[in-house]
Structure 1
């Protein structure tokens, strides 16, 4: 099937690719314009917004993690991540001392930050966990489990790979040349911004919400009962196997292949 290649190595694809910075002056202008027209009603989570049980300086030991340079993330636990694109790399964890002791942060080959628990049987339960990340570059993110991730500002990237396996959620504002996104399970990806080209895969009951994410060209495949919504300007190619639904805005040229009870609907 012509979409098979899309699903082979979606997350690993961009870990080996270089990422060139966009022109700063153009990005600053677009950033201001974007902020004026696309600011969400509720503000992004910030460090000062988070209240935890951490009381003393001694309790806060281990909250700042000094790490080698990274640009990608594999998050294998629950909790919340707030990621900012900025000049200097920084990782700060806000949690109770008990939780802090369990959090491992390791940078592996290719600039991949792995976040997990020291004890694989550890349960976060009702404890709060916030991880604040700042990096100059962002290339690939994978959430495995029930974690949540949001962007603190709009990311300007060349290529970006997003993947969710489980029930995690991503809420991201970005400008990208190319986006690849894969949802396996019941996870959700909510995007705002724009991209020249994108490839999307939804397996299971996941949802990709992108009416406020405008793309020039898009190739999408849905397997199962998941859904995908996008704003496409030029070319849209869709394959649906099962009962999934694809809705889109814009006036692109459309090609489709539907097997099962799935649907492709244009929204005005």
Structure 2
């Protein structure tokens, strides 16, 4: 029996997109540990933190990051759930996660506000969202990692910017960079038309989509059903496509 290639491509892309989302939803809904329901009494508390340049957040938390003087972290959420959010610091890394053995059912979004003079690495997993409230800059490089269904949205300014997305997460960036490195695996998305980069490297495996801007050089490798769309006058110096992937220039 002959199978239409277009139909096979469509079914594959849908499967690659839906599967990680379904698995994540199941893990959130039926996650192990004692379930604790939020009491609806929204409170804010401060947590003292020492100097950090790396942030790692696990769980369903909206994190608002600002670049400026070091300030105590502010945690906002159901009063009875705040005690289950743990902070851990090792060297220059700040890690925030739900206390092991507990599954929190918040009545409202859990929110975390962070301020630091320097950011080097931002790493999120689960259903965490990172929102930049100021321009996040670094004189060398800035790295961002997303696993699960997390999202990062911010304006950046760094010579080198790295994003690595696995699962169904996304990054939305604007600003400027000399070199932008974008890695996607699964059904993630990079929405970075407004990140004005000179040189861009994109590596997609799965059904992810990357929207990028490159003014000088673009290299892209796509395996699966991924798509690279680009703006700018960059010369494509390398393109390698296997499967139903594509590279497209847009206006």
Same fold per TM (> 0.5)? yes
Once the two structures are superposed, what CA deviation does each residue of 1:144-184 show, in whole Å capped at 9, x if it has no partner? 10011100011121211100010001101111110111000
1:48-59 equivalences in 2 (<5 Å)? 53-54=41-42
2:131 to 133, 137, 150: 150
2:163 to 160, 181, 184: 181
1:83 to 48, 53, 65: 65
Structure 2 Cα separation of the partners of residues 173 and 161 of structure 1: 13
Match of 2:102, SS? coil
Structure 2 Cα separation of the partners of residues 99 and 142 of structure 1: 23
Match of 1:127, SS? coil
1:73-152 equivalences in 2 (<5 Å)? 73-109=55-91, 111-152=92-133
Is the Cα–Cα contact under 8 Å of residues 90 and 135 in structure 1 kept in the other structure? Answer: no
TM-score by length of 2: 0.81
Is there any run of 5+ residues in structure 1 with no aligned partner, and where? 1-51
Name the structure 2 match of 1:196: 178
1:260 to 240, 243, 246: 243
Name the structure 1 match of 2:191: 209
TM-score by length of 1: 0.76
Deviation at 1:126, TM superposition (A): 3.1
The structure in which a higher percent of residues are strand is: 2
* RMSD of Structure 2 on Structure 1 (CA): 1.3
2:146 aligned with 1:164, yes or no? yes
Is there any run of 5+ residues in structure 2 with no aligned partner, and where? 1-39
Match of 1:95, SS? strand
Deviation at 1:261, TM superposition (A): 0.8
| 120-129 or 193-202, larger mean C-alpha shift | 120-129
Give the length in aligned residue pairs: 210
Structure 2 Cα separation of the partners of residues 67 and 210 of structure 1: 32
Structure 2 Cα separation of the partners of residues 88 and 175 of structure 1: 20
